[in-house]
Structure 1
Amino acid sequence: MGKREKQKQKHQRSQRGKGSYNFHQDEDGDIDDTAPFSSLPEEVDKDLQEEEEDEDCVDDNTDEQEQDPSLDMPSKFLLYQQSVQSPKGDISYMQKFFLMYVGGRMPLHLQEDFCGTALLSTEWLRGDSRKTAVGLDLDLEALDWCMENNIPKVGADGFSRISLFHGNVLQPLQSKLVKMDPRQLIESISLTQKGDDVQAGVLESNIQEGSAAEDDKIFKRDFPLPGRDIICAFNYSCCCLHKRAELVLYFRHAREALSSKGGIFVMDLYGGSSSENKLRLQRRFPNFTYVWEQDEFDIIQRKTRISLHFHLKKQHRKLRHAFSYSWRLWTLPEIRDCLEEAGFRSVHFWIRAMPDSTEIARTEGFGAGKDIKYEEATSFEQQDSWNAYIVGVA
């Protein structure tokens, strides 16, 4: 019997008699906390250090936890959403930026680049039936997970107001529409949500007009979309673009997709003296711990590798390398210059200083930094860590 099979049997024995896994879901819309540097502990718990060497670990590259339901492993996408993202806060700021720099109308049409599971896009659709969203990402698994888990929670008309595309932000018109089988669409929508709205006629209409098209391939270049009021790229996704030419090209595509009536592009970025060092940070939630690991920082190429791990408390398991990225850490002046070169008429920085890494040993949930607001700035002294929204106005 191989080592992995022994680990599998060991875990199955330890899980007998245990109930289902319950997760903490953050509901505070005022918290805008997508950044790992909102929690900067200088220490990692002994439990985490010991389990790093424990054989009873799961590396996401094996996908074994998803193949065997008895392991009761949660989706890495669910864990990411609960520990990293806070879409209500992002949306609140984006609407504020739009009204400040464009004005004259309410923003209705959003595009979320590097969208992953498009959590922000689905949250955008809530509350106004006129709103639409477009999501674009290279990870087809994440997009499919969104189709099955996030969009159905919006309501019966969710599928008709969002379009997800699988492709590269550097070649957006070649991206392909993600489609869902109509039978799966019906099964995904909860009939207990807004029962008066979920009627046979409504479902039939959405299937015909939504993303579940019959053609094998529908490209973004052939798909009719309104000019977007807001385009966003969050969770430091622009760090995935390593060359200046790529960054300018991406910004040009974003500029071209914005409405002719005016619109904004919004991205986020982190920095500070602590961001250019090897780091291992943790944020505790009731049933799991989120761990951010930054490798050695190359000061010439300004590159590092970021890995996200999840320690599942109830199951005494650790999902290592659930997500891993090669990043170039751009500077604020570089971003501004590239946006201006791409045709944006003005660029604005909204920054907040974050808690010092030398003073925080432990962070619970989204607690640290929640009361620190972003403020517009034209100059800002270096800090141990900071987060920024960068707004390009077209």
Structure 2
Amino acid sequence: MLIASIFKELRLLSRDLHGVAVLFMMPILFMLIMSAALSNDNELTHKSDIVLLSDMENPFNVDFFQALQKENLQVHHANLSELNRYQNELQAGKFELVIANFNEKTTALSEDQPLQLWLNPSVDRGWLLGVKGVLQKHYTEQRIKHYLNNNHITLENNKRKQIKEIENKVNKELDRKFAQINDYLAKNLWQEVYLNRQGSEVAKPNSVQHSVPAWLIFGMFFIMIPLSNVMAMERHTNTITRLRMARASALSLIIAKLIPYFIINQFQFAGMVALGYFVLPRLNMPAFELVGDGFSYAVLSSTVSLAALGYGLLVSVVARTTEHAVVLGGGGIIIMAAIGGIMVPTYVMPEIMQTVAEFSPMGWALSGFQNLLLNQYDLSQIVNYLIKLSAFGILMIVLAAMLYQQQLKKQVRF
């Protein structure tokens, strides 16, 4: 009996080779994608230009600039008088970071002003963290080095001194210098100023501005599951035959299906935004707020829904059963999320994976949301993402309509 049951299960598995193949292929693909996405172990290999603005006649600034050049950074040196020019170029995306050192050669250590870091809100966070470490190391080292070089301890030698008096003077001088150095090290080394593409100062980006849009997009694509369940039920209950007898066109039937799910997607969007705004602060996390024109977010949400529904519809038409749809469609969604920056932010990926991410619909959607949130773009500035999402969704719907039309003809039973 046991042997017969085993052979029976094997025969059933042999009839579902697609499902068995997915069991092996999905973990392999996911492992390869995630390993590649997280393989960038050196953030400073990111090719981004930095500008150091300071008094170029000050030996300290020259030494500081030379120390940065020895690191894996693309840094340029210019005078402070060009600050406005480089701020404009930062807004245009030519540079990732502008560093302004307003301290002069005669500035005392106790009066040292923090470095001004001018940044774009969408700056690569991993790269920025690495750059800050390099700045802190070399700026502090050079500042203390020049302070000690320019402040030698002097003793009066015009007459003989008692050794004890000399020791006391040296100790007092050292104590004073070390106290000043300790006070200096306790101060903030820099102040961050974030400029959006319009040149306005904005708040420092936080973690929820990546996580909420990312998982919102991820959730919207899973509209495929209820859609595939309905279409599978149509086949099993022979509803598809009655629809054909009513002479309903495939396109009209598809449009009738998509409208309710489109509305559900919009409720998803509103619900996630409300959750981020009201619930996250109660969990001691930053509140999620939509910054800018609400109409832009509505248009972007609509195009994301169109892409998600197009993908879900094609999977629902191709899949034979509900289980097949969940495995096939869910696997595709996970892969799109992995390469599109949903699970791993694109800025921590190596260059080749960032290139791959440009072909993921979820990557287009996430880039559009982040540009609206962080850079405060208007609708015209994210039109390329809107076009890509709309084209993807329409293409999927057209393919699904063609296949569905064939199914209406072939699967009619009397």
* Structure with greater strand percent: 1
The TM-score with structure 2 as length reference comes to 0.24
The TM-score, its normalising length taken from structure 1, stands at 0.25
Larger radius of gyration: 2
